Structure 1
């Protein structure tokens, strides 16, 4: 994992160095690559997680654009931010030199706005495309930079409340076949589902429509699905008693199926909006 994180950095710096050929003088190119590597290491802050490193690299943008910016800086264009590097420091007792810290005079607010603008433009490019979030999830393992360093593990860390809510909903569905004793007048799966639903309703990561869709699916399956299936199965036997018997026989299964569908929808929307 450490080698892969380092390889992501080396590949990015190599692409920048290749783009600088024929654009920057050799001494300028070497200085640019050195300062770029130093800036990446500073932003990386010692992380060995490939996903986190990929996310850092994604913030730097296109290496060719960095080279173009450096060329404009060297040409003296006033609109290009000046980048200065502190002198290289070699800690006492260590043979490995520390990369110099690169100081960028771009105000923090401007830099943050630029990152947010790039993220918004990337999101707009995929908006309207079917299953864009699922495609990014599928690409995460093969190419962390394609997903901005996000995968299922980072999603869990970023949204613990939402993951807890989905886990409780799944647990409620799994408890249905066991026929556990009721607590007061409430069945245990219904209690667990209610806790999961309350947790989901307190989340700001899902829109109100998404929450209602995910939480309404098991209710729809239990009520409407149970009635339809029971009516079809009781049609030959006839009678209200046969209908009631069939309803209670199939409604639990329909609740489980539609709970699974609701959780899948919530998980998909959580990834897609993150």
Structure 2
């Protein structure tokens, strides 16, 4: 009997192959059911806007989207392990404008989504998948680097929890408990915590106690903000300490503010050093 449900959304096997493989490994480690969703995104062509309703009804890219998702499903079936009855492959065609609502539908009963990090220079579809999962779907997400080298370790040696005493950070810590229970150790990392923080007398002490009561080996590290961006401080620390995963709250500021001014979530999504376990 599987325990919980993971969902992986793939749009292209050339970029999502490692993500699907990692999702299979995580599902096996957690003895969870895995839904593999192949998504054929039907682009809304410029002439559809120009010609109004007639252009939308014609849906000139529908046949191409259906062909793409058929090919995608065939490739995903080959990636899915045939020995596990708990793995199912599904195919869907969705209009680009309806992508967010489709993601919400697919993830409604999933405990976590497994997604590929958006690559610089690619269309915004992958970033929209991540944002839709976390915001509209309220579904925690495991976001994997496009580089296959730092693949998600189902039983990591070391996990870093980026802690800023926020609600998204606490949501991420709770969502990643299955991962952290399998880890050899968890490091709670605070970057230049403010002097007026609630736990200023014992930075990170409350979350460390919370994790320890779940049977985790926990240490707390306070880092100085030696670089302009917090994301750079976290990235450097994760790489120097050899962490296998980074758990953090997503979009502590609004998406609009991060899109305009930048932010820790968007910066790390652009170049994740290790798999990111995100929630909000």
Please give the TM-score of this superposition, normalised by the length of structure 1: 0.25
Q: By percentage of residues, which structure has more strand? A: 2
Q: Which gives a bigger RCO, structure 1 or 2 (Cα 8 Å, sep 6+)?
A: 2
Larger Rg: 1
Please give the TM-score of this superposition, normalised by the length of structure 2: 0.24
Q: By percentage of residues, which structure has more helix? A: 1
